[in-house]
Amino acid sequence: MLPRMLDVRTKILKDNDRVARSLRERFDAAGVFVVSLVSSPGAGKTAFLQKTLTVLRERYRVAALVGDLATENDANRLAQSGAPVRQIVTGTVCHLEAAMVDTALGDWRLEELDILFIENVGNLVCPSSYDLGEHLRLVLLSTTEGADKPLKYPTIFNTADLAVITKSDLAVAVEFDRPAALAAIESVRPGMTVLETSAKSADGLAPWLAILEERLAERESGVA
């Protein structure tokens, strides 16, 4: 039975990659930079993204898609930033797929956006296999989770471009082992840039925004 399961999975991923390539071509043609966020549940993706949207919308045209198995709670939180937001309810599916993103975009005029964020379902396993057509993928790890998450879920760190340690304001209280976390990330993804942030205090937000603006500039100049 295993070969049949592998055949089905291969077809699913192949179909997803085809849609993702089409999405990326569409994003490139519209001139919109797309960033996806992945993490385990409760790592602080929504708080981090809400703070990011709030700051960026003063200078850029930003929007967000957010995936969850049920409810529109995260979309409602992100909408408080003032940016356009759409929820993708996945039902029993524990990750976003390119086709879901394609459908959710609907009638959005992408050429009227500078940056589109895609917040994936809280999961460190399934999202690693699904390209969403994004240009930059962030993996978030909170100080409350423990330092060994990169070692337990190396694939998601290997498919991400940037690691973000969230809830830095709680690091002392939860006795977060920062050296161990950095060593774990380095062991599975040598040289990976790691940022440390707190959505509550906004500490570490400036370096993240600087990297984002650098990537935007590179794309506009044709470097990336």
Residue 206 sits in a domain of what CATH number? Answer: 3.40.50.300
Mean pLDDT of 164-192: 97
> Identity (one letter) of the amino acid at 223?
V
Q: Counting every residue, how long is the chain?
A: 224
Share above pLDDT 90 across residues of the chain, in percent, rounded to a whole number: 87
Q: What six digits make up the tokens of 116?
A: 């589109």
Give the ranges where 57-177 is alpha helix by DSSP (H): 73-79, 98-105, 149-152, 154-158
Q: What is the pLDDT of residue 223?
A: 59
For residue 221, the surrounding DSSP H or E stretch is helix 205-221
How many Cβ atoms from other residues are within 10 Å of residue 95's Cβ? 19
Q: What is the pLDDT of residue 15?
A: 95
Q: What is the pLDDT of residue 113?
A: 97
Q: Report DSSP state, residue 113.
A: -
41-90 pLDDT, tens digit each: 999 999 999 999 999 999 999 999 999 999 899 999 999 999 999 999 99
Q: What is the pLDDT of residue 2?
A: 47
Give the confidence band of 206 by pLDDT, cuts at 50, 70, 90: very high
Is residue 211 predicted with pLDDT exceeding 90?
yes
Q: What is the pLDDT of residue 88?
A: 96
126-154 pLDDT, tens digit each: 999 999 999 999 999 999 998 999 999 99
Q: What is the pLDDT of residue 106?
A: 92
Q: What is the pLDDT of residue 156?
A: 96
Of the candidates 13, 2, 51, the one whose C-alpha atom is nearest the C-alpha of residue 127 is 13
**What's the half-sphere exposure (Cβ side, CA atoms, 13 Å) at 158?**
9
Q: Per the structure, how many domains does the chain have?
A: 1
Owning domain of residue 16: 2-221
